[in-house]
Amino acid sequence: HRPSNLVNIVAHIHASAGRLFDAIRAEYAAAVTPDDHYERAMDRLMQTQVYQVVPYQGAWNALKYPWHVLDIMDYFLSKIQGQTIAKSAFIAPTASILGNVFIGENAKVFPGAAVVGPAYIGSGTIVGNNSLVRASMVLDKCEVGFTTEIARSYVADHCGMHACRVLDSVFAPHVNFSAGCTTANLRIDKGTIAGKVKGQKIDTGRTKLGAIIGENAFLGVDVMTMPGVKIGEGAQVGPGTHVHQDIHNRQRVYVKQEIVVLDDGR
């Protein structure tokens, strides 16, 4: 088919959901590997049914894969104009607020910290001493601990980050990212980063991508995640682990180390 200058977004409204589900089930039964079953089902239905197109001229972003959250975040960050700082927020005299920044109710930015726009700091969030938040959204009641860096990342509510590096990443609520943890975000060859979805490698189109971490995941001290890794809901990663592949929901992953003690230099 010839490529179109139109894109399908927002919503489909179907007069018969049963007919749609039957068509989708038929496509899945065909055992074709690509993940466009819905699109092929629609193509089949359009051959016999009448559909009406309603044009939309506004902004849009795809939200199919978890890394798409970063594109949507960038869009909303671009809408922050100037500095909006809640009256109940505390900004230490030696903290730096630069560029287009929103800081919510009862947030605290402690001495030596920097928030560099575009950036969003949610209500009740603490940005600790000498930490840095830039080009990121950190939502409500998060703790950005001493010397932590958060760059180009989306961090949902109630996350705790302690003397760590969060780079080009997406955190669901209640993630604990312990001291010394880092999300590696760049391949050695600087190529685009692939993510796995249902066993298939998907090119993210991004040369920088950290980790996608699910709700209530707990990462112990000094965990390193490789570019594009996903960690599932409720997963636990033990101290000092290097995460090279996806971790599923509620899995526990840790390393076993051998300790050698030599007396008298022998």
DSSP 37-66: HHHHHHHHHHTTS--------S-----SST
Distance of CA 43 to the CA centre of its chain: 32
Q: How far is CA 23 from CA 12, 15, 31, 41, 196, in A?
A: 15, 14, 14, 5, 27
User: Residue 240 contacts by C-beta under 8 Å, 6 or more apart in sequence?
Assistant: 220, 221, 222, 223, 255, 257
Instruction: Please pick, among 162, 242, 244, 248, the residue that the annotation labels catalytic.
Output: 162
The residue type at 116: V
Closest by Cα among 256, 255, 159 to 211: 159
Using DSSP, state whether 79 is helix, strand or coil. coil
Is 12 among the catalytic positions?
A: no
Q: Identity (one letter) of the amino acid at 93? A: P
Q: Tokens for 47, please give them.
A: 């051959």
Instruction: Provide the Cα torsion 141, 146, 151, 156; round to 10°.
Output: -20
DSSP secondary structure letters along 232-266? -TT-EE-TT-EE-S-B-TT-EE---------GGG-
Active-site amino acid positions: 162
